[in-house]
């Protein structure tokens, strides 16, 4: 589990099952599965049929509505974050047996906390990356190795940061 309020479970809840990235313009099908709008459109073009990539149910709509991130169990809006289960929940979930005696925060408050923790975690990484960029390689023949390492660290850091900040 992560040290902050957001765990891997939350990332799974907010990721497209087609591209496995955080949703970009999420749409929801009548079967309640959500996808990035572009991922779904690409999938449908390849299949030449409007079926759900997860359950294969045929969609009646060629342009599914945007998903405002809803509970997969109750189709209610996710307004809270369960600190004990480290996942977003709707008001029905909050009152369920599964979450009895649990601690909750408004989801926007939990998201702000996560962004703050991410920024604090990334600050030392950014400084280290900058110092690595200023270093001379140990061996003159090793220039490519340093630049490759720097590019990889930068790419991983910025990808993780942009995924979280998009939330």
**93: CATH:** 3.30.160.60
Which tokens is 118 given?
Answer: 């991410």
Q: How confident is the model over 85-106, as pLDDT tens digits?
A: 888 888 999 999 999 999 999 9
- 33-40 long-range contacts, CB within 8 A, separation 24+: 34/67, 34/69, 37/64, 37/66, 40/64
Residue after which a domain boundary falls, among 68, 91, 120: 68
Is residue 2 domain-resident? no
Is residue 158 within 8 Å of residue 150, measured between CB atoms? no
Compute CA distances 128 → 29, 147, 154, 156, whole Å. Answer: 44, 14, 11, 14
**pLDDT, mean over the chain:** 77
Of 10-14, 109-113, 114-118, the one with minimum mean pLDDT is 10-14
Are residues 91 and 58 part of one domain?
A: no
Q: Which range marks the domain in which residue 27 is found?
A: 7-68
Does position 9 have pLDDT exceeding 70, yes or no? Answer: no
What is the pTM for the complete model shown? 0.45
How many separate domains does the chain show?
3
* The pLDDT of residue 162: 53
Average pLDDT (45-53) is 92
Examine residue 1 and state whether it is found in any structural domain, yes or no. Answer: no
């Amino acid at each position: 589990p992560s040290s902050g309020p957001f765990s891997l479970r939350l990332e799974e809840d907010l990721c497209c099952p087609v591209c496995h990235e955080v949703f970009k313009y999420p749409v929801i099908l009548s079967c309640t599965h959500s996808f990035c709008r572009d991922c779904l459109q690409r999938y449908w073009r390849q299949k030449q049929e409007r079926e759900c990539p997860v359950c294969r149910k045929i969609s009646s709509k060629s342009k599914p509505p945007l998903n405002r991130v809803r509970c997969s169990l109750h189709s209610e809006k996710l307004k809270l974050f369960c600190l004990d289960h480290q996942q977003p929940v709707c008001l029905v979930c909050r009152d369920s047996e599964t979450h009895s005696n649990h601690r909750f925060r408004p989801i926007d408050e939990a998201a702000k906390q996560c962004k703050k923790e991410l920024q604090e975690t990334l600050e030392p990484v950014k400084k280290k990356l900058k110092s690595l960029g200023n270093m001379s390689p140990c061996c003159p023949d090793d220039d490519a190795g340093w630049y490759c390492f720097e590019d990889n660290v930068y790419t991983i850091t910025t990808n993780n940061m942009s995924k979280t900040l998009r939330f």
